Amino acid sequence: MAIYKQAFRFGSGSVGQAAEVLGLSVEEHDAGLRELIRLGLVTAGRDDPDVVTVVPPEIAIVRVLERDRETLTRYRDTIAATSESLERIVERFLPLGPGPRLDLEFEVIEDLARVAEMLDMMTDLGRDEMLSMHPGPLPPEHLLREGLARDRRLGERGLSLRALYVKQLTTTPYVATYLRELISFGYEIRTTTTLPIRMIICDARRALIPLDPTHGQAGAIAIDGEVMVRSLVRVFEHCWQDSSPLAGSLNEQPANQLTEQEHTVLRLLAVGMKDEQIGRAIGVSVRTVSRTVSDLMRRLGVQSRFQAGVRAAQAGWVE
């Protein structure tokens, strides 16, 4: 306070002169003066910073208190904002009781339309892998057909696709046809004698399981959380190891049971010929060619002539 007393006694004055009177070095005097300026007890001249003006004590006290009040308000606002952020973090990430918190969410879905929406969402969100397990009962044909669009989208995006079915389901013609479609989309399919539960798993993060395993139309439980879904993945992998690749999916009809005419029709289909061209090439009517093609498509389990040619080549029916 010696500097303030000196300045207050003489009013405005030079920093250098005040330093000489007090016996202080210029550096020592400057350090004290900077503190007085910070506190608002003196002000430096606009034209010459070396000349200071003393602020009366009553005014200086008001200024200091006002500045401290503003500082305190800023601190209080900062503390309030920090406290609010911490409360949100605690609510979101910390448990209500002892023990580690599980990042896990469940949704019970009884509306079948909502189940379909959830399947669409999982299809859109899938990035790496989709696993599915199908123990039965036999699904309605229209549900399988409706699901093909989702299956195709997954295949087009290059996900790893694996599906498990009980063997007895694959003996039903429309199921076998559906499975052939899945294989054409890139699915790897295996079969086994029994499976514990129907489930669909997306990226080891999301899963759908039946609300009532004995009643497939009762709805589903949607699970979002790696902690729980990891256990379901282990169940799937265990069943996968005990299963075998789907047999006869492409070649249920041995090639040696095809007639020579059927062989020729398939070969010409594979190169893209139309029925009229095939008829002229083998000397039969267009109606005969169409009937032969329809029968071959049925046996191959496909919906188009192009698919028939490709599938026959995959099955080894044509070279």
Q: Is residue 76 part of a domain?
A: no
Q: Which of 153, 140, 304 is nearest to 217 (CA)?
A: 140
Q: Which of 154, 163, 149, 164 is nearest to 128 (CA)?
A: 154
Vertex 84 angle, CA 78 and 90, to 5°? 135
Contacts of 290 (CB under 8 A, 6+ apart): 275
Percent of the chain with pLDDT over 90: 12
| One-letter amino acid for residue 309 of the chain | G
Domain boundary among 245, 274, 295: 245
pLDDT band at 255 (very low <50, low <70, confident <90, very high): very low
What is the number of domains present in the chain? 3
Q: Is residue 183 part of a domain?
A: yes
Q: Is residue 240 part of a domain?
A: yes
Contacts of 41 (CB under 8 A, 6+ apart): 4, 54, 55, 57, 60
Q: State yes or no: pLDDT of 132 exceeds 50.
A: yes
Mean pLDDT to the nearest integer, 300-315: 72
Mean pLDDT to the nearest integer, 188-199: 89
CB-hemisphere CA count at 13 Å for 46? 0
Q: State yes or no: pLDDT of 286 exceeds 70.
A: yes
Cβ of 164: how many Cβ atoms within 10 Å?
23
**117, 180: one domain:** yes
Residues in the chain: 319
Mean pLDDT to the nearest integer, 19-46: 72
Q: What is the pLDDT, as a whole number, of residue 131?
A: 95
Query: Mind listing the pLDDT tens digit for each residue in 113-125?
Result: 888 888 888 888 8
Bridge partners (DSSP) listed for residue 129: 160
Window from 78-92, 273-287, 289-303 with minimum mean pLDDT? 78-92
Q: What is the pLDDT, as a whole number, of residue 254?
A: 47
Mean pLDDT to the nearest integer, 214-224: 82
Q: What is the pTM assigned to this prediction?
A: 0.49
Tell me how far apart the alpha carbons of residues 169 and 137 are, in angstroms, rounded to a whole number.
Answer: 8
Q: Is residue 140 part of a domain?
A: yes
Tell me how far apart the alpha carbons of residues 179 and 147 are, in angstroms, rounded to a whole number.
Answer: 12
pLDDT band at 252 (very low <50, low <70, confident <90, very high): very low
Window from 84-98, 204-218, 224-238, 288-302 with minimum mean pLDDT? 84-98
Mean pLDDT to the nearest integer, 27-53: 72
Window from 104-113, 141-150, 252-261, 303-312 with minimum mean pLDDT? 252-261
> Which helix (H) or strand (E) covers residue 139, if one does?
none
Vertex 201 angle, CA 237 and 193, to 5°? 45
Mean of pLDDT over the chain: 78
Q: State yes or no: pLDDT of 45 exceeds 50.
A: yes
Q: What is the pLDDT, as a whole number, of residue 250?
A: 41
Matching residue, tokens 């696709």: 161
Query: Mind listing the pLDDT tens digit for each residue in 51-103?
Result: 677 777 777 777 778 888 888 888 888 888 887 777 776 665 555 555 544 57
Q: Is residue 11 part of a domain?
A: yes
Q: What is the pLDDT, as a whole number, of residue 176?
A: 87
**198, 224: one domain:** yes
**190, 259: one domain:** no
Q: Is residue 81 part of a domain?
A: no
Contacts of 268 (CB under 8 A, 6+ apart): 277, 278, 281, 282
CATH number of the domain where residue 193 is located: 3.30.870.10
CATH number of the domain where residue 20 is located: 1.10.10.10
**Taken in order 171, 172, 173, 178, is the CA torsion positive or negative?**
negative
**240, 268: one domain:** no
Q: State yes or no: pLDDT of 48 exceeds 80.
A: no
**185, 259: one domain:** no
Q: What is the pLDDT, as a whole number, of residue 20?
A: 66
SS3 content of the chain, % helix, strand, coil (to 5): 55, 15, 30
**136, 193: one domain:** yes
Q: Which domain holds residue 204?
A: 105-245
| One-letter amino acid for residue 33 of the chain | L
DSSP assignment, residue 248? T
Q: State yes or no: pLDDT of 111 exceeds 80.
A: yes
Contacts of 283 (CB under 8 A, 6+ apart): none
Q: Which of 156, 210, 161, 207 is nearest to 187 (CA)?
A: 161
**267, 212: one domain:** no
Contacts of 144 (CB under 8 A, 6+ apart): 174, 175, 178
Q: Cβ distance 268 to 277 under 8 Å?
A: yes
